Amino acid sequence: MNNGNGRRLNGETEEDDDDEGSEGDLDAWERTYADERSWESLQEDESGLLRPMDNKTLYHAQYRRRIRSLSSQATTSRIQKGLIRYLYIVVDLSRAAAEMDYRPSRMAVVAKHVEAFIREFFDQNPLSQLGLVTIKDGIAHCLTDLGGSPESHVKALMGKLECSGESSLQNALDLVHGYLNQVPSYGHREVLILYSALSTCDPGDILETIQKCKKSKMRCSVIGLSAEIFICKHLCQETGGSYSVAMDESHFKELILEHAPPPPAIAEFAIANLIKMGFPQRAAESSIAICSCHKEAKVGGGYTCPRCKARVCELPTECRICGLTLISSPHLARSYHHLFPIVPFDEVSSSVLSDPHNRLPRSCFGCQQSLPNPGNKPSLRVACPKCKQHFCLDCDIYIHESLHNCPGCESFRHLKSPIATEE
Amino acid sequence: MKFQIEDVTVYFPYDHIYPEQYAYMVELKRALDARGHCLLEMPTGTGKTIALLSLITSYTLSKPNNPVKLIYCTRTVHEMEKTLAELKLLHAYQTTHIGDRARILAVGLSSRKNLCVNSRVLAAENRDSVDASCRRLTASWVRAAAAANPNLPTCEFFEEYEKAGSNAVLPPGVYTLQDLRAYGKEKGWCPYFLARHMVQFANVVVYSYQYLLDPKVAGYISKEMQKESVVVFDEAHNIDNVCIEALSVSVRRQTLEGARRNLNKMRQEIEKFKATDAGRLRAEYNRLVEGLAQRGNLPFTDNWLSNPALPDDILKEAVPGNIRRAEHFLHVLRRLVQYLEGRLETDNVEKEGPVGFVASINTHAGIDQKTLKFCYDRLHSLMLTLEITDTDEFLHIQTICDFATLVGTYTRGFSIIIEPFDERMPHIPDPVLQLSCHDASLAIKPVFDRFQSVVITSGTLSPIDLYPRLLNFHPVVSRSFTMSLTRDCICPMVLTRGSDQLPVSTKFDMRSDLGVVRNYGRLLLEMASVVPDGIVCFFVSYSYMDGIVNSWNENGILKEIMQHKLVFIETQDVVETTLALDNYRKACDCGRGAIFFSVARGKVAEGIDFDRHYGRLVIMFGVPFQYTLSKILLARLEYLRDTFQIKEGDFLTFDALRQAAQCVGRVIRSKADYGMMIFADKRYSRHDKRSKLPGWILSHLRDAHLNLSTDMALHIAREFLRKMAQPYDKAGGSGRKTLLSQEDVEKMSDGILNEMQY
Ligand code: SF4
Ligand SMILES: [Zn+2]
Ligand SMILES: [Zn+2]
Ligand SMILES: [Zn+2]
Ligand SMILES: [Zn+2]
């Protein structure tokens, strides 16, 4: 845009305004913002600087980075994950949570995804427990105590969705610290803070509180909803948690779900622990018993603690009477894949792609979709380092995040055995 | 890493180098090869200092036959320490590569206040009193007296240093001020005098601008520096102001009252000497008759401030007869003070050239030009004769004599301006008589003439063609470099309208418009609600800041702002401001969030960094033009127009924009950092204003951000902050090389170079 026709006025110290070029400026503004989300698809801006090309590439790039950082952690330290987690979710319900940059409001979006998260969490960590804390008017409230039942948490949260006042990170941390300090030492203490506000109004020195949390081995992670705040970053760095800021709702969802699989155990804390567990029997359909959790008489269903024979309604849980951890074997099995993650796939470098002598598979081994032409865009395919099959990025994500085993490797294993017998 | 630039092997202490650093070194080398001066603009955060140091030291290493000395001038002690720390790193790297051949001596030099290790002396509160306290212990006559009477106090560090004689040297190495103090304490030698002595032999000297530019200081510190030196002025965007300040003197009522007290004190001293030691005064008289103004080589410790005039302009003649006798000289001074008092009595602003002023002194006080000119030398001689050590007490009369000498020496480029009160506060009488220098080229000329290469560098030297005109020199190289970034971490915006679409500006006629005041307030309020941690606001002046903050307070906006963040304000009191800054930082650290109100051209704007979370956003409210009705400014503008053909408007815009750039540049101090800059005034959208911003800001100022209203800016801010909070690849994405390895540099073509330049 050129509005360079400004006259140079001599001798005049503060010129009159002639709003030259203002219409032109407006054009430029509208050009960029006319379409509500156009800035997300900017390819290269006027000044020639690269911007994110589209959401998908951005998303893929972020995913690759994540995988890489996870695997680098895994290789440097023995993979050791906390399977028994005690997690507090802190939901910031201060004034800022009412803002509407997320629709209908930050608060509603957070609640929605917390619900999904809670379910996913118990799915992936059947041995773990979580609790809910909210911050409102500068005070932290405990919404639910640590427990293993998704329903009760979700119900409690949905009942309390209103916001006001300031936010106080310190109060929340202090409260959570008080609770988490009491959990058994084999459990992993975690806090996940969903923070809307951009500041924290604390009664005392928050830096001390952070040190206290660090000492108690509480892993604190924060997901911000609008911008990076120094104190949150500091908190996460100190306590070994992760800090991220959501770009929009789908990104937020992704970020929160990242916390569902167990995090790597905090190093000094990672002493192997033997834990006593009970695998209770499902009670006979017709038997009547008073359950220890609801103090109600129930017909059929429920489980019986193998040690004290008390009845409980849901698994997994801790026996109310004798304190034994009660789980079912499928629960335990599901927790296992975290211990044996599949290796990250390698990006197929563009030099290999452009080499004509290399005959590369044309389609993804997973979904059979054709892979983009070589030379078109770099690194749009990945290869499993073990079975050498190529995959598209979507399959890559699906394999690592949901499936937890490589289709290539699996099918080769099946293929190999019959061949071996034939010979 | 180690690489070749033409015939020079450059040792660079890091594994990677930014492309702009490489380009910078190439240009610098060309200037050194040509033995000429150069101007180089490169944004802060790009490692300018290390590039400079590494090229110049490597250059010397590659040409052992004519070693060049590096004189590196910084504005603050803090910068000095940082520079020396970088040099230390570089030196260690060079030593591991080429061993003893890399050996250098590098010292920082500062005033006694920063170097003294004598705890009794250090107790004094300011620089002048530390100087005086030291002098009370070390002046030659004090030491002579102490030799006879051991009960008199001396400084043990100085005595030890003297005793060590020619053994008192610094072994090769790099010495920060702290290292010097530590070394001094260890050896029991005075670090200040040791450093001053070593400056002549050092390969690298780091000190403040004044030590070269202010003749009063340069006269005794930098006299011995060899011609084969490279002089670097870092952060030199305000160098012209340093130059004119070095040759300007202002006289207030307090100065004259103090001078009268000084004169009385000296008269008493003279009486005393007459009674006890008349021979001393006679000896001085005889010496003056013989035509020696100065006593030849003074002991190191007896030096005080040197002649305020530039070395070439000092007359090497005998002191005129009428002031040879001490009493006569005091008489002359008394008449001069009386005359100046009379001039201060005026109710009108007066402006005069030096010639007219001298003539008027001659008719009314009977002091001729030559006598005036010798005032400084004569005073100095008298103070030595009277063995005065309380130099801090005598600063007033020194000021008067400086004034007299300068006014007697220069006929062009100066004017005398008398103002009965500060125009912004007409009801408070505060008369001041100022001898102001208009020509920045005067003070710097000896530096250009004397040294082989002078490098003027800063993050903001735009428009780069103006500096050679202001300073009257011909650079062999003048270049501006951009910053290579892995992501768009700076986001400048021009805000022209409030949310109600009405224009905002600090233009004189709109300044007190309530609509503008409100719009500015709402802008800050809205920004405070979306920007985390620290926000810095710059206003055009103290009075404007006071006014607008008051109105915000009255209409309740300030209260609303304070719900989001704490507010801190810069005041003219240094201690208060330091405290405010401390608390501001604390509030940013603990997550409370804070706003700092500050003034363009103030101390904060010049020297304090608001990097990282200490400044995520800086708002420049208005265009920081100088106070255009100031008589001194008008006189300077007139002079610039007549002498250098620089138009008033051009100069004012240039000056305002460099201040603005300086203010907003405070938030970005490294490439990993990010920050937004809002220029809140509709005048910034004009091409003639905007184009004077430095290239590294302009290149990020997108067309769509040139004419924003508050709500648009808010939207951009939200997006920007979200984007910056995402993790990113520090090494730079594909295609954009922002870090070069040794290999890259070796195969580098000129392509990169051209890319980096404007
Ligand atoms: S001689 Fe040195 S140590 Fe002693 S008082 Fe002076 S500056 Fe301080
Ligand atoms: Zn029950
Ligand atoms: Zn039991
Ligand atoms: Zn696929
Ligand atoms: Zn595989």
Tens of pLDDT, residues B690-726 = 888 998 899 899 899 999 999 999 999 999 999 999 9
Cβ of A29 within 8 Å of Cβ of B708? The answer is yes
User: Sign of torsion, CA B291 B296 B299 B302?
Assistant: positive
The answer to whether the beta carbons of residues A248 and A102 sit under 8 Å apart is yes
User: Regarding predicted confidence, which is higher, B751 or B596?
Assistant: B596
Q: Is A163 on the interface with B (CB under 8 A)?
A: no
Radius of gyration of chain A (CA): 27
**What phi and psi, each to the nearest 5 degrees, are found at residue B317?**
-130, 175
Q: Residue B336 burial by CB count (10 A; 0-12/13-18/19+): exposed, middle or buried? A: buried
Tell me the pLDDT of chain B averaged across its residues. 89
Pairing state of beta strands B566-569 and B429-437? unpaired
Q: How confident is the model at residue B65 (pLDDT cuts 50, 70, 90)?
A: confident
Q: How far is CA A135 from CA A89, A175, A200, in A?
A: 11, 10, 11
Q: Is B646 on the interface with A (CB under 8 A)?
A: no
Average pLDDT over residues B628-634: 85
Spatial distance between the Cα atoms of A157 and A108, rounded to a whole number of angstroms: 11
B325 token code pair: 């006798």
Note the pTM of the prediction, 2 decimals.
0.79
Of B386, B377, B360, the closest CA to residue B323 belongs to B377
Q: How far is CA A282 from CA A129, A135, A324, A334, B14, in A?
A: 22, 40, 16, 19, 66
Q: For residue A351, what pLDDT is reported?
A: 67
Cβ of A19 within 8 Å of Cβ of B503? The answer is yes
Write the DSSP string, B15-56: S-B-HHHHHHHHHHHHHHHTT-EEEEE--TTS-HHHHHHHHH
Kindly state the helix (H) or strand (E) to which residue B687 belongs, with its residue range.
helix B687-690
Residue B77 CB: number of other CB atoms within 10 A?
A: 16
Q: For residue B190, what pLDDT is reported?
A: 93
User: Sign of torsion, CA B512 B518 B519 B524?
Assistant: positive
Spatial distance between the Cα atoms of B506 and B625, rounded to a whole number of angstroms: 10
Of A360, A398, A400, the closest CA to residue A381 belongs to A360
Longest dimension (CA), chain B: 87
Residue B466 CB: number of other CB atoms within 10 A?
A: 19
Spatial CB neighbours of B329, under 8 Å, sequence gap ≥ 6: B323, B378, B379, B382
Q: How confident is the model at residue A335 (pLDDT cuts 50, 70, 90)?
A: low
Spatial distance between the Cα atoms of B188 and B181, rounded to a whole number of angstroms: 10
CA of A283 to the centre of ligand 3 (A): 14
User: Regarding predicted confidence, which is higher, A177 or A19?
Assistant: A177
Q: Is B718 on the interface with A (CB under 8 A)?
A: yes
Kindly state the helix (H) or strand (E) to which residue B399 belongs, with its residue range.
helix B395-409
pLDDT at A23 over 50: no
Alpha helices in B345-394 (DSSP H): 354-365, 369-373, 375-385
- 3-state DSSP assignment of residue A351: helix
Spatial distance between the Cα atoms of B114 and B130, rounded to a whole number of angstroms: 10
- The residue whose two tokens read 């170097």 is B115
Give the tens place of pLDDT for each residue, A105-160.
999 999 999 999 998 898 878 778 899 999 999 999 999 988 878 888 988 888 87
Of B3, B201, B1, B55, the closest CA to residue B748 belongs to B3
pLDDT at A27 over 80: no
For chains A and B, count residue pairs whose Cβ atoms are closer than 8 Å. Answer: 161
Q: Residue B333 burial by CB count (10 A; 0-12/13-18/19+): exposed, middle or buried? A: buried
Residue B74 CB: number of other CB atoms within 10 A?
A: 24
Q: Nearest 5°: CA angle at B687, between B647 and A48? A: 135
Give the tens place of pLDDT for each residue, B391-408.
888 999 999 999 999 999
Q: For residue B443, what pLDDT is reported?
A: 93
Of A175, A110, A190, the closest CA to residue A143 belongs to A175
Which chain A residue has its CA at the smallest distance from B508's CA?
A14
Q: For residue A67, what pLDDT is reported?
A: 62
User: Regarding predicted confidence, which is higher, B288 or A211?
Assistant: A211
Average pLDDT over residues B195-217: 91
Average pLDDT over residues A351-380: 70
CA distance A320 to chain B (A): 41
pLDDT at B268 over 60: yes
Closest protein CA for atom 1 of ligand 1: B158
Cβ of A10 within 8 Å of Cβ of B647? The answer is yes
pLDDT at B411 over 80: yes
The answer to whether the beta carbons of residues B175 and B203 sit under 8 Å apart is no
B598 bridge partner residues? B538
Spatial CB neighbours of B604, under 8 Å, sequence gap ≥ 6: B570, B577, B581, B596, B598
Q: For residue A356, what pLDDT is reported?
A: 66
Q: For residue A422, what pLDDT is reported?
A: 37
The answer to whether the beta carbons of residues B374 and B294 sit under 8 Å apart is no
Q: Is B699 on the interface with A (CB under 8 A)?
A: yes
The answer to whether the beta carbons of residues B221 and B215 sit under 8 Å apart is no
Average pLDDT over residues B260-280: 90
Q: Is B713 on the interface with A (CB under 8 A)?
A: no
pLDDT at A378 over 70: no
Spatial distance between the Cα atoms of B567 and B535, rounded to a whole number of angstroms: 10
Q: Is A31 on the interface with B (CB under 8 A)?
A: yes
B358 token code pair: 């001298």
Cis peptide before B463 (omega within 30 of 0): yes
Residues with CB under 6 A from ligand 1: B 112, 116-118, 121, 134, 137-138, 155, 157-158, 190, 192-193
Which chain A residue has its CA at the smallest distance from B689's CA?
A6
Tell me the pLDDT of chain A averaged across its residues. 75
Spatial distance between the Cα atoms of A348 and A354, rounded to a whole number of angstroms: 11
Q: According to the per-residue pLDDT averaged within each range, which of A317-331, B327-341, B382-396, B721-735 is highest?
A: B327-341
CA of A398 to the centre of ligand 5 (A): 13
User: Regarding predicted confidence, which is higher, A75 or A253?
Assistant: A253
Average pLDDT over residues B208-235: 88
Average pLDDT over residues A244-264: 89
Closest protein CA for atom 8 of ligand 1: B116
Mutation choice for ligand 1 from B114, B137, B392, CB with most ligand atoms inside 8 A: B137
Give the tens place of pLDDT for each residue, B76-86.
888 899 999 99
Spatial distance between the Cα atoms of B186 and B178, rounded to a whole number of angstroms: 12
Average pLDDT over residues B92-105: 89
Q: How confident is the model at residue A40 (pLDDT cuts 50, 70, 90)?
A: very low
Q: How confident is the model at residue B570 (pLDDT cuts 50, 70, 90)?
A: very high
User: Regarding predicted confidence, which is higher, B87 or A337?
Assistant: B87
Alpha helices in A34-168 (DSSP H): 55-76, 106-124, 150-159
The answer to whether the beta carbons of residues B620 and B600 sit under 8 Å apart is yes
**What phi and psi, each to the nearest 5 degrees, are found at residue B383?**
-65, -35
Kindly state the helix (H) or strand (E) to which residue B497 belongs, with its residue range.
strand B490-497
**What phi and psi, each to the nearest 5 degrees, are found at residue A119?**
-65, -45
- 3-state DSSP assignment of residue A133: strand
